[in-house]
Amino acid sequence: MRPVAVEGPPHGLTDHTGGAYSVVNKMERNSVQRNFSAKRNDPMPPPGADISMPASAIDADAFDPAAAGWKPRGNSSFSSLVGPLWARREGESWAYGFLAGPQHTNAHGIVHGGMLVTLADNALGLVVHEASGGQSAVTMQLNTHFLSAAHPGEFVEARGEVMRRGRSVMFVRGTLMAGGRMVLAADGIWKLLGPR
């Protein structure tokens, strides 16, 4: 089976990212072709297999967010399942993050992409909340580009910014970093909600 090459944005969307779609898709296409053509030496575990990492796999001297000025963020019911999530004021903006642990990994032993997207969605939503003066908002669209793997024991940090604000929507973008590497880039649109 040969992967389909996509040179432009998906579903005919306008590329407002300055060409990031074509660069990322070329990288993804090359990666997919390598993965399909190479024999796997690390077969996926069977369904139901125990893929958890032993606690000893995480460095005992792991990053301590509290010692670095991060504060635990009040978590929603969902966020408490994937966190704890952390926040730190940086000038006029905020940074958000989580300490990757064994519970955040996939079958390959790296941080699951869903966890990275969860952090991106939370962080960008909080950027919108701050920029709108505390107005409630919901995610309408979130585009993500996975650029590098994050590993257990690393602290993954998210930062974002508002690109444009309309009457009822806000356009934002941000990045996730781990160990000095950019692991994810994201952009999206949030719907500003009226008073409840």
Please classify residue 28 by burial: count the beta carbons closer than 10 Å to its beta carbon, then call 0-12 exposed, 13-18 middle and 19+ buried: middle
Residues of the chain with CATH 3.10.129.10: 62-192
The helix or strand, by DSSP H or E, that contains position 192, with its residue range, turns out to be: strand 181-192
**What is the rounded distance in angstroms from the CA atom of residue 112 to the CA atom of residue 108?**
9
Task: Give 73 or 29, the one with higher predicted confidence.
Answer: 73
**What H or E segment, with its residue span, contains residue 142?**
strand 137-146
Cβ atoms < 10 Å from Cβ of 144: 17
Query: How many other β-carbons are positioned within 10 Å of the β-carbon of residue 110?
Result: 18
According to the model, what pLDDT value does residue 194 have? 75
Q: Determine the average pLDDT of the residues in 106-113.
A: 96
* Architecture of domain 62-192 in this structure: Roll (3.10)
DSSP 171: E
Percent of the chain exceeding pLDDT 70 equals: 67
pTM over 0.85? The answer is: no
Choose among 108, 111, 193, 99: nearest CA to 146: 111
Contact status, residue 124 vs residue 190, Cβ threshold 8 Å: yes
Lowest-confidence region among 30-39, 88-97, 138-147: 30-39
Separation in Å, CA 116 to CA 35, 45, 106: 22, 22, 12
Contacts of 108 (CB under 8 A, 6+ apart): 42
Query: Residue type at 182?
Result: M
Q: Is the pLDDT of residue 100 over 90?
A: yes
pLDDT per position as a tens digit, 149-192: 999 999 999 999 999 999 999 999 999 999 999 999 999 999 99
| Tens-place pLDDT, residues 63-89 | 899 999 999 887 677 877 888 899 999
Q: Per-residue pLDDT for 20 more than 90?
A: no
What length is written for the chain? 196
